Amino acid sequence: MLTSKWVLAARRSIRSRQSVTDHYSSRSISSACINQFHTHSKAYLKDNSSRINNEAVKEVEVLDKAPRGESSAVPSSRISRLFHYGSLAAGIGMDVAAQKLSQVARGEATSNSTSWKSMILSPANIERIAKKFSQMRGAALKIGQMMSFQDEKLLPPQLYEILSKVQNNANFMPQRQLDKVMSRELGSNWESKFESFDKIPIAAASIGQVHKAVLARSREKVVVKVQYPGVKDSIDSDLNNLLLLLTASRLLPRGLFLDKTVANARKELKWECDYMREAKALQKFEELLKDDPIFKVPHVFEKLTTTNVITMGYMEGAPIMKLPSDSTTQATRDFISENILRLCLEEIAVFKYMQTDPNWANFLYNKQTHRIELLDFGASRAFPDEFINKYRKLLTFATENNRPGVAEMSKQLGYLTGLESQAMIDAHVDSVMTLGEPFAGETSQAFDFKDQTVSDRIRGNIGLMLHERLCPPPEETYSLHRKFSGIFLLCAKMGANVHCSKLFHDIFAFKD
């Protein structure tokens, strides 16, 4: 058995933090997290202690000291990632215990004290969680980024603050780790394949980081996306740990079918970690949009692409959310928003193949060419004909104010079982009808997203639906609705006027 001082210290730390938290509250949410992490950690240490070496120890120590948004090694082993989640839970638990002690010292009654959820989401813990997610990358950061594109009014404000902090704010790999990955994927002479290669990435996200480069022979400008080591192999354990944290902490409202959401995320994360799959999706979209005058897709360089590295053409545009407000006209904002919504409807109804990541950073606008450039196709997926036809019918019934049709199609799609209360059925149908409003009305009229109340009215039904929903939504809608929601929010952020009704009737409406 290995008797590393680090292992012993970790054991003592987890035990002591657990006992402190349990002492001050037998019903502490944080102690539940810590207790379960303690059990899993202890069992894993017992079975795998021989695998814990000095490199893993140094990895954890370096990561804990690294500032967010800077260079830090990716924790690639299962044991180091497990202990990072454990230290996060323990740190939150200690902070909650300190807050409870402070309340007792002030003589505050329990009934009047700060709620457990508020203590878990204290400013110190918000910073702690955001920093840890940025250091961990992988599933932790990806889940945070996925949820950050939800309406901020749907989530607790403190949780939304965490998600906003990690939206595009991962640490990047140190050069030694980057060189090791590139040598493994493209050979020890990988640098000779490029005339220049910027070692500091231009972007660092949840799965990998992006470097600007110039090809050696053709001198074409490219970007090289490099996957973080260990991310692919840690998806299952990361998501299990996150599910444990989110369930035990009760940060999210009931009725979200969190297990189904995580199962969907598990599948999509594995897709996104397969860069050969993403390369094929890029090539598919390049073909689908080859005659489109507005959209441009980067070209894939197959000889410099593997399952962990993908090389593609460099896009010159600027992220649409970073366009200068003083020089970007409303006409330009309307143009960008209308065409992105057009593409979204075409992906569903025409291509039956969608890039489902709603990250606004995936859309660039090139002022010189007046084109929208598209990025990041790892979450692309196909949809079956049967689902697409029923979904198109559902929204078409909504635009026609056909409530019985919406209810029936909702049952056929699996949103309803037919056994729900009338209140639940009414709330669901109301929400679908509201979702259809932007697409209804005269085709000559533009919908003003700036003053829209669609989100507020749908949100008004969420409480009842979460409480009374009997079944999770169909699997296909997790990614589809995330993309729809992201595009609607994008249009609202742009304050755009979009001819939604015309787009819907030309592209999406189901015609028998």
Whether residues 429 and 341 fall in one domain: yes
Whether residues 249 and 332 fall in one domain: no
Q: Are 471 and 429 in contact (CB under 8 A)?
A: no
**193: which residues sit within 8 A by CB, 6+ positions away?**
186, 215, 216, 304
Whether residues 373 and 464 fall in one domain: yes
**Is 296 part of any domain?**
no
**484: which residues sit within 8 A by CB, 6+ positions away?**
344
Q: Are 374 and 285 in contact (CB under 8 A)?
A: yes
Catalytic residue selected from 95, 357, 376, 430:
357
> Looking at 203, 223, 253, which one is the last position of a domain?
253
Amino acid 361: pLDDT: 86
**Is 117 part of any domain?**
yes
Amino acid 116: pLDDT: 58
CA distance 425 to 402: 14
**Is 270 part of any domain?**
no
55-83 exposure pattern, b = at least 16 Cβ within 10 A, e = fewer: ebbebbeebeebebeebbbbbbbbbbbbb
Amino acid 359: pLDDT: 82
451 a catalytic residue: no
Whether residues 345 and 465 fall in one domain: yes
CA distance 192 to 196: 9
pLDDT under 70: residue ranges of the chain: 1-123, 125-170, 241-259, 261, 455-468
Amino acid 154: pLDDT: 47
Total domains in the chain come to: 2
Amino acid 239: pLDDT: 74
**Is 67 part of any domain?**
yes
Quote the pTM value.
Answer: 0.72
Residue corresponding to tokens 């309307």: 334
Whether residues 374 and 505 fall in one domain: yes
> Looking at 253, 281, 296, which one is the last position of a domain?
253
Give SS3 for 203: strand
Whether residues 242 and 369 fall in one domain: no
Amino acid 403: pLDDT: 96
Q: Which domain holds residue 77?
A: 5-136+235-253
Amino acid 284: pLDDT: 98
Amino acid 199: pLDDT: 94
Whether residues 324 and 446 fall in one domain: yes
Q: What are phi and psi of 497, to 5 degrees?
A: -110, 115
CA distance 300 to 223: 10
**Is 188 part of any domain?**
no
Whether residues 243 and 357 fall in one domain: no
Amino acid 130: pLDDT: 63
Amino acid 441: pLDDT: 86
**Is 113 part of any domain?**
yes
Amino acid 31: pLDDT: 42
**Is 354 part of any domain?**
yes
Whether residues 423 and 502 fall in one domain: yes
Whether residues 22 and 114 fall in one domain: yes
CA dihedral of residues 149, 155, 158, 164 (deg, nearest 10): 0
> Looking at 253, 282, 305, which one is the last position of a domain?
253
Whether residues 329 and 458 fall in one domain: yes
Q: Are 396 and 443 in contact (CB under 8 A)?
A: no
**Is 411 part of any domain?**
yes
Amino acid 431: pLDDT: 86
DSSP secondary structure of 64-82: HHPPTTSB-----SHHHHH
DSSP secondary structure of 128-188: HHHHHHHHH-HHHHHHHHHHHTS-TTTS-HHHHHHHHHTTT---B--HHHHHHHHHHHH-T
Whether residues 375 and 484 fall in one domain: yes
Give SS3 for 294: coil
Residue corresponding to tokens 């990690």: 166
